[in-house]
Amino acid sequence: MDALLAALADPARWRLVNLLAERPRSVGVLAQLSDARQPQTTKHLQTLERAGAVTSRRTGQHRVYALRSAALRDLAATLGRLADTADQADGPYATYDRYGRSVDAERLAAQEPGWADGRTFGFHRALKGSPGTVWRRLTEADLLAGWWTPDDLRVSELVFEARPGGRIVQEYRDGEDADDSGPVVGRAEGVVVDVRPGEHLAYRLSPLLPDGGPAFTAHVAMGLRPGKAGTDLDVHWRITDSTVDAPDFVAGIEIGFGQSLDKLAATLAAATDTTDSSTGNPDPTRTTD
């Protein structure tokens, strides 16, 4: 497939493929129609033949080339599958496009400091596990690191001191940057405001700009209560101190934090599913209260 793509990428060879799609033709005719010298045309045809795009046979004193449609159909099918993967509903590219539209809108709105102050976002998730189990996922750094990132990112540094006045530090890198050799994608710093274990958690968090200054301050409040699935979690965001450099961050709140909560829900569901079906006892690796 690589050889075929490389062969078709050359404009002169692509012209020959188009001519051969009409009918088989000799080297001399192809050279005349493509306004090229015959030796040059022969080299291009040989490249296409090695790649499987054309075939040839000698007839009398000249060689006639014909297109191999099967190779092109195989290539078209492969490209179609790639396009279908990219276009899947609610897939990564749909999220990419949605974020792009949000960024454009927020950049238009960011005309002066304070432009996003008072903006709010609300999230709700019905989570498996008791409020105590969910609380641990919200407040223990080693457990937070498993879900507190949007898709395709990972935590490279995380501090969460679950007490009033406690520090919060988040640092993100690309999810495929396994050895931390790439740049830091994002960093945020904040402070815990209120802690009521199993019931309520509040904190302030500010994503940092490249110069180290805060883009805005997010006031985040989380409420937990027993629910049908196990625990109902409600999260409320409110923005203050927004700068004109904050639109890209604000545009990502709904998508990014929503993805993080989805990862939290999946993590808790997976932990619940590890119960030993034969004995009814929890798997020893399962997180419990």
CB atoms within 10 A of CB 51: 19
pTM for this one? Answer: 0.75
pLDDT of residue 177: 86
pLDDT of residue 286: 44
pLDDT tens-digit map of 233-270: 999 999 999 999 999 999 999 999 999 999 999 999 99
The CATH number given to whatever domain includes residue 204 is: 3.30.530.20
Average pLDDT of the chain, as a whole number: 91
Number of folded domains in the chain? 2
The residue-averaged pLDDT of 280-286 equals 43
CB atoms within 10 A of CB 168: 21
Cα–Cα dist 246/251, whole Å: 9
pLDDT tens-digit map of 129-185: 999 999 999 999 999 999 999 888 999 999 999 999 999 999 999 988 888 888 899
Percent of all residues in the chain with a pLDDT value above 70, rounded to a whole number: 94
Residue 90 pLDDT level (bands cut at 50, 70, 90):
confident
Q: Based on the fold, state whether residues 54 and 125 are members of the same structural domain.
A: no
Q: Based on the fold, state whether residues 59 and 147 are members of the same structural domain.
A: no
The residue-averaged pLDDT of 210-216 equals 95
Percent of all residues in the chain with a pLDDT value above 90, rounded to a whole number: 80
In DSSP terms, 220 is beta-bridged to: 203, 237
**Helix (H/G/I), strand (E/B), else coil: 236:** strand
pLDDT tens-digit map of 29-63: 999 999 999 999 999 999 999 999 999 999 888 89
pLDDT of residue 61: 81
The CATH number given to whatever domain includes residue 53 is: 1.10.10.10
Give the H or E element holding residue 157: strand 153-160
Residue 27 pLDDT level (bands cut at 50, 70, 90):
very high
Q: Is the pLDDT of residue 271 over 70?
A: yes
Residue 101 lies in a domain: no
* Enclosing domain of residue 10: 2-79
Q: Based on the fold, state whether residues 124 and 37 are members of the same structural domain.
A: no
Query: Final residue of a domain: which of 60, 79, 98?
Result: 79
Q: Is the pLDDT of residue 106 over 60?
A: yes
Measured in degrees and rounded to the nearest 5, phi and psi for residue 262 equal: -65, -40
pLDDT higher for 206 or 275?
A: 206
Q: Based on the fold, state whether residues 70 and 208 are members of the same structural domain.
A: no
Q: Based on the fold, state whether residues 75 and 118 are members of the same structural domain.
A: no
Q: 216-253 b/e with 16+ CB inside 10 Å = b? A: bbbbbebebeeeeebbbbebebebebbbebbbbbbbbb
Question: 214: which DSSP letter?
Answer: B
Helical axes 2-9 vs 11-22, angle rounded to 10° = 100
Cα–Cα dist 53/88, whole Å: 30
Cα–Cα dist 129/271, whole Å: 9
Residue 196 pLDDT level (bands cut at 50, 70, 90):
very high
Q: Is the pLDDT of residue 5 over 90?
A: yes
The token pair that represents 72 in the structure block: 């092109």
The token pair that represents 116 in the structure block: 């996003």
pLDDT of residue 178: 81
Cβ–Cβ under 8 Å, residues 184 and 171: yes
Q: Left (φ > 0), alpha (ψ -120 to 50) or beta: where does 44 sit?
A: alpha
* DSSP per-residue string spanning 58-111: EETTEEEEEE-HHHHHHHHHHHHHHHHHHT-TTSHHHHHHHHHHHHHHHHHH-S
